[in-house]
A and B are shown apart, each in its own frame.
Chain A
Amino acid sequence: EAGVVQSPRYKIIEKKQPVAFWCNPISGHNTLYWYRQNLGQGPELLIRYENEEAVDDSQLPKDRFSAERLKGVDSTLKIQPAELGDSAVYLCASSSLQGYYEQYFGPGTRLTVT
């Protein structure tokens, strides 16, 4: 089966510019997660979707970050405007309601804000 797909893999932008990340989860996976990973740290959850509903967005900085998951499949994470501190790797993961809820991660998007 195909894994979690993310694009782009790398993005360099100037501060105050907008940026968007795209994620296509594993087919049939109802749950989708966005994480942010700073250098030398473990991933930190930003938002979790169950189908098209955002059920946990408590860690999402809502003043500049937004996310959507139309039709309960693909998802987009947006930052507007970007700040220097947003430089990180943004990871998308998905999981199924069957099984043991292990999460499958994409390769991530490395964002550099200059």
Chain B
Amino acid sequence: DAKTTQPPSMDCAEGRAANLPCNHSTISGNEYVYWYRQIHSQGPQYIIHGLKNNETNEMASLIITEDRKSSTLILPHATLRDTAVYYCIVRVQASYDKVIFGPGTSLSVIP
């Protein structure tokens, strides 16, 4: 699997957009970008994934650069409940492919 690099921590003011970057410069053509988050004392939660087009769902937006070497997860209006560790993962879209979690980005939403 391609490796990812994320900042260890970020702060965001409540109500503002949180933009979480991820570098995946060695991503392969058939690998997707997945984002999960883990709120304290809970298991990770799937947020969104994409291949090369930007994606949006009810939780977040995913912006992938044209060369696919980096991406940004956007939480449009961060709330205190969005305080969590956010993991960026790249993997082939298949059940047999391992999901390898790095240390992620610890996002703190500040009132």
Contacts and interface: CB of A to CB of B under 8 A. Distances in A.
Binding site of B, secondary structure by majority: helix, strand, loop or mixed?
loop
Interface string A78-110: 000000000000010101010011111111100
Contacts of A93: 43-44
Given A31-B95, A100-B49, A101-B94, A4 B103 contact: no
A43 interface: yes
Nearest to A40: B103
Nearest to B98: A45
A41 to B, nearest CB: 6
Given A41-B103, A42-B104, A91 B95 contact: no
B95 A43 contact: no
Given A101-B94, A102-B49, A107 B99 contact: no
Interface string A44-67: 110010100001100000000000
Interface of A: 4, 30-31, 33, 40-45, 48, 50, 55-56, 91, 93, 95, 97, 100-108
23 contacts: A30-B95, A40-B103, A41-B103, A42-B87, A42-B101, A42-B102, A42-B104, A43-B44, A43-B101, A44-B101, A45-B98, A56-B96, A91-B43, A91-B44, A97-B95, A100-B32, A100-B93, A103-B99, A104-B46, A105-B42, A106-B43, A107-B41, A107-B42
